[in-house]
Chains A and B, each alone.
Chain A
Amino acid sequence: MSTHQNFPAEPGTAELRDVYGRVMLIKLTDERIRRVIRSGRIVTPHYSPRGQEVIPSAICAQLNPDDYVVTIYRGLHDHLAKGVPLKQLWAEYAGRATGSCKGKGGPMHITHPAAGVVVTTGIVGSGIPIANGLAWASQLKGDGRVTVTNFGDGASNIGAFHEGLNLASLWKLPVIFVCSNNRYGEHTAFEKGTAVKQVSDRGASYSMPAMTVDGNDPVAMWKAANEAITRARSGGGPTLIEAMTFRFEGHTNGDDSHYIPADVMAAAKEKDPVPRFRKLLLEGGHATEAELDAIEVKINADLDEAVDFALNSPWPDAAELNRDIYLEEIEA
């Protein structure tokens, strides 16, 4: 049985600084990835989480390394917030042997069990039923772990969401369903694809506690996550959190978001969670300008090192084509 830390229901200075460090790591990593892709040094799909950084940061700051996270192709923010090491992450983006998946999965399938990141799926909604299985195992073992599964608003319209929430509620599983409602499912506006006003309305169908929260507000997001984690760990069952946010860099890298009206995008960017968070820390006396600048300097240095590591790592050997298909090697 693992030991689990307790976190305050409301974040103080230490907690906010922790969350901010994760937020900045995500923002700067995402910006660097897009720059490196543009330079042609790495060829990879990329689904930018720019604008959604606060959600997993406020959650993962309250999780233990052995708590499970399941996420999706837009998962960079979840991977980093939960502690996947930068070097292995970058090497996976670069398709190298040193990547977290030996270059065999790529960014849509980042897996790092030591950080608790056990599934990243490229199929909308599919992580939800799998998260139930992880949580069921924890329930049976009594290991006190919680499982967090992240997905977008589009996933709330797929069958797996409904099958998964129903089962989680029936079996009172220690799982937290985190819907990042970024207002667009691929290129289709939320209202055109979803018959309810809020994804959290769907909790009622499964007798599941559900809430809508400003996912760009670190304090609100911390409190929502704290409530859900406490419920899950104490045997109270699942929670559905709908975190309202916005996606600044399109569905996939290179998507210019032409389907989002300019005024809608401008208004969303006005509410960019990162400068907003910085202002909160400064005005609340939680940190100084110099301290926050130092965080960025450190992350940029780590990124320099991680990019170098990735690009100088060997490519996977052709023998890898026969490995990891089954436990035993085969002639593929």
Chain B
Amino acid sequence: MSAGADTKVAQITGAQAVNMALTEAMENDPTVLVFGEDVADPEGGGVIKVTQGLSTRFGDHRVKSTPIAEQAIVGAAVGAAIAGMRPVAEIMLMNFFTVAMDQIVNHAAKIRYMSGGATAVPLTIRTLTGAGNSLGGQHSDMLEAWMAHTAGLKVVIPSNPADYKGLLLSCIEDDNPCIFVENGILMFTPGDAPPPGHRVPLGKAAIPREGSDVTLVSYGRPVLDCIAVADQLAEEGISVEVIDLRTIVPMDEAAIFASVGKTGRVVIVHEAVKRFGVGAEIAARISETCFGKLKAPIERIGAKYSPVPFSSALEKDFIWSRERVEAAVRKVMG
């Protein structure tokens, strides 16, 4: 077996990374609890088997399948967190947040503030979502703008397996309520496995490609296409910097502003609906802070202002595409 720079890094999927993070967190800290619909082994260890093995290993008192009752799930997480536990609740799909919004927005997010810091809610809610699987209007939404607009929550949307593991561990160990958004395609997409004990701090962007002509700001699944576009345009001599935000709240604005200071051209790409989306906030912050540095109007790419369509023929045009990202980069280049 050869050692050195060409050693092949083990590949894992997002789902495996999440399982590894949960296992490590439960091993490290007996107050970590995992619960949600179908998460225990008798129920299959999660609908896509993300939590497989946990209840067998750590016991059905710490890993519990719940009724289909999202208010009860998030409420239990809020209460357990106040009582000193580290609950990791699973809301199977992000659209099901809508039935637990009172617990998420009025309670998890606000209890520390409303109590003047007398109590805290160190919980993590994991959830799965994303378009591209023909699941239609109620199983695919990206609702991170709702979450980000509610002060008190941290919002994490990783793009690769190493970050899935490192960011989830950071969420569980964080003393604030964290929303961890998993993507239905990335969960099955392989990538480099991180070393044991790997952590990714919340609020620190990654820069998977450095460049000097255009800044691509993105997070979640579209980051993969941003990287592909950067690599493709590099061959033409267009130097694209890709910022993978990793966390929406807290947002690494310093990384964005530094990059814009260098390039003066910005394209923001996210999966969520474009109008009133996170990209609008990023564009506003750039114009407030870096207006004098901009060489072209900021471009935003996001989903259409509509529910997620079912038909794959429509769905592919509803969300971003590599072609649209490339066209936007060429546009800001003039």
Query: Which residues of A come within 8 Å of B, CB atoms?
Result: 68, 70, 99-105, 109, 111-113, 118-119, 121-123, 126, 128-138, 140-141, 147, 159-160, 163-164, 166-167, 170-171, 323-327, 330, 332
Contact = CB atoms under 8 A, between A and B. Distances in A.
Given A118-B82, A159-B71, A167-B66, A132 B76 contact: yes
A129 B113 CA distance: 20
Contact of B116 (A102, A122, A147, A170): A102
B118 A323 contact: no
B234 interface: no
B102 interface: yes
Contacts of A326: 112, 152, 154, 176
B294 to A, nearest CB: 23
Interface string B15-51: 0000000000000000001000000000000000000
Contacts of B79: 70, 119, 129-137, 147
Interface stretch (B1-9, B83-91, B236-244, B297-305): B83-91
> Which 8 A/B pairs are nearest by Cβ-Cβ distance?
A129-B75, A133-B79, A102-B116, A137-B83, A111-B115, A101-B116, A163-B72, A105-B114
B interface secondary structure, majority: mixed
B69 interface: yes
Contacts of A126: 75, 102-103, 106-107
A136 B80 contact: yes
Contacts of A134: 79-80, 82-83
B151 A332 contact: yes
Contacts of B83: 68, 118, 133-134, 137-138, 141
B197 interface: no
B117 to A, nearest CB: 4
20 contacts: A101-B115, A104-B113, A109-B115, A112-B118, A118-B119, A119-B79, A121-B107, A130-B75, A130-B78, A130-B107, A131-B79, A133-B81, A160-B72, A166-B72, A167-B66, A324-B112, A325-B151, A326-B152, A327-B120, A327-B176
Given A323-B117, A324-B113, A133 B80 contact: yes
A128 B75 contact: yes
Contacts of B102: 123, 126, 160
Given A101-B116, A118-B83, A121-B106, 11 more contacts: A104-B113, A105-B113, A130-B79, A133-B77, A135-B79, A160-B102, A163-B67, A163-B71, A171-B64, A324-B112, A325-B113
B69 A130 contact: no
A52 B108 CA distance: 29
Most-contacted residue by chain B among A111, A112, A129, A330 (CB, 10 A): A129
Nearest to A321: B113
Interface string B150-162: 0110100000000
A134 B83 CA distance: 6
A206 B36 CA distance: 20
Contact of A132 (B75, B84, B176): B75
Contacts of B85: 136-137, 140
A interface secondary structure, majority: mixed
B139 interface: no
Contacts of B115: 101, 104-105, 109, 111, 324
Contacts of A138: 83
Contacts of B67: 163, 166-167, 170
A307 B143 CA distance: 46
B74 interface: yes
A167 B112 contact: no
A278 B84 CA distance: 41
Given A119-B119, A140-B61, A133 B112 contact: no
A324 B116 contact: yes
A100 B114 CA distance: 10
Nearest to B122: A327
B111 interface: yes
B76 A129 contact: yes
B72 A129 contact: yes
B198 interface: no
Nearest to A99: B116
A138 B79 CA distance: 10
A129 B106 contact: no
Contact of A111 (B72, B78, B116, B154): B116
A1 to B, nearest CB: 14
Nearest to B70: A163
A111 B66 contact: no
A249 B114 CA distance: 26
A102 B112 CA distance: 11
Given A130-B107, A134-B80, A167-B67, A111 B176 contact: no
B42 to A, nearest CB: 15
A119 B115 CA distance: 8
B62 interface: yes
A325 B82 CA distance: 15
B210 interface: no
A170 to B, nearest CB: 7
A327 B175 contact: yes
Given A134-B82, A160-B102, A100 B75 contact: no
Contacts of A131: 79
B122 to A, nearest CB: 8
Contact of B72 (A70, A132, A330): A132
B116 A325 contact: no
Contacts of A132: 72, 75-76, 79
Nearest to A332: B151
Nearest to A102: B116
B152 A325 contact: yes
A129 B66 CA distance: 13
A100 B76 CA distance: 24
